[in-house]
Structure 1
Amino acid sequence: MKDCPKARAVLEFGGLNNKFLDGGYSRYIDWIEDIARELDNKAISNFISILWNIWNSRNNSIFRGAEDDARVTWERAAALSRDFQIFNLVEDPLLPRKIGKKVFYGLVARDVDGFIHGGRMSFVDKELSIEWVELLAMEESLKIARLNNWKNLELESD
């Protein structure tokens, strides 16, 4: 951190533990790994957002001549974390998920050359986990293979 006083100032402003700021790391990845071991998922998510904002601020300084102080960079990172909390995969979503009971699945029947012989798309009107829907698609695939008297069947799922 001694080579990057701007980043250090932003992290100090945010209250990062001095243990991480004063550590003697020869590689930044070691520094980030140590921090990741100490922080929980939400905190590491915010930390990465802060690092990105420091990097972005540094680029703006170099390419646009716009110099921000540590407080501005920190506040911008905090605002982005709040604004994008809706899309944060670590936390429960702020907007409720639409839960429907219809579960859709589809299948395509192809030969070894990739020629498509048919397909089917359908739905089940009940709440199922993804594993059960895949099992249902497999069952339908077996029915199609049986109806067409196919000897071999290769199943793929995504």
Structure 2
Amino acid sequence: MCLLDKKAFVDFITTLWNIWNYRNNAIFRGKEEDARVIWERARKLNDDFRIHNFSIWSILPWAPKTCKWDVIKLNVDASMKANRTSLGIIARDLDGFVLSGKAIFINRVVNSESAELDAFLEGIWLAQSLNLDKVIFETNYACIINHFCKHKDDITIFGYHIKKARKMLDSCSKVDIKWVDRGCNKVDYSLCNWSLSNCYNLSVEMDYPSDIHNLVISNVI
């Protein structure tokens, strides 16, 4: 076996496993199969493993995700408690249906301005990962909006970071940022509180957990 390369060795072990499985079926279930069937099953198992194995270079070329959504709202929020910080980001369509979201736990406290900026940046990265074209950011932190709207005349360090954030959004055909009341950010706020209480990160997609689902439904209603 020392003469086999890694790929050949994996093929060999998989074939042995399928032969062993075939013998069990033949002995205990009286089910016999042609040797060609066993070989094809082993070959397909190897191909599937290499395609879905993330520890090696992907066999299938990566293609950016293309979504056919129209305008997407991104709610961003941040919370601080007991020397801990949490960021909450939720992406949803105009009907309020949650498409994706995350809660990020940071085991240190930062000032509110920096925390809200980090949440905004996380929202931008989420928009990029979803390949969104038209986005509306919603936040209850007016400072972010003021710097975003007056970035050309802003010479502060915070304004510099906002300019970099705007540069990241150049690929979008439409970008807007709006102030919303904390009541409109209830899902984000709840995600932040969940992350602070559990000291854990959380990612949600369209198949979000039932407790998050209840928050979304109550917020839409």
> Which protein has greater RCO, CA pairs closer than 8 Å, 6+ apart?
2
Query: Which band: TM-score by shorter chain?
Result: 0.3 to 0.5
TM-score normalised by the chain length of structure 2: 0.28
Looking at secondary structure, tell me which structure has more strand per residue: 2
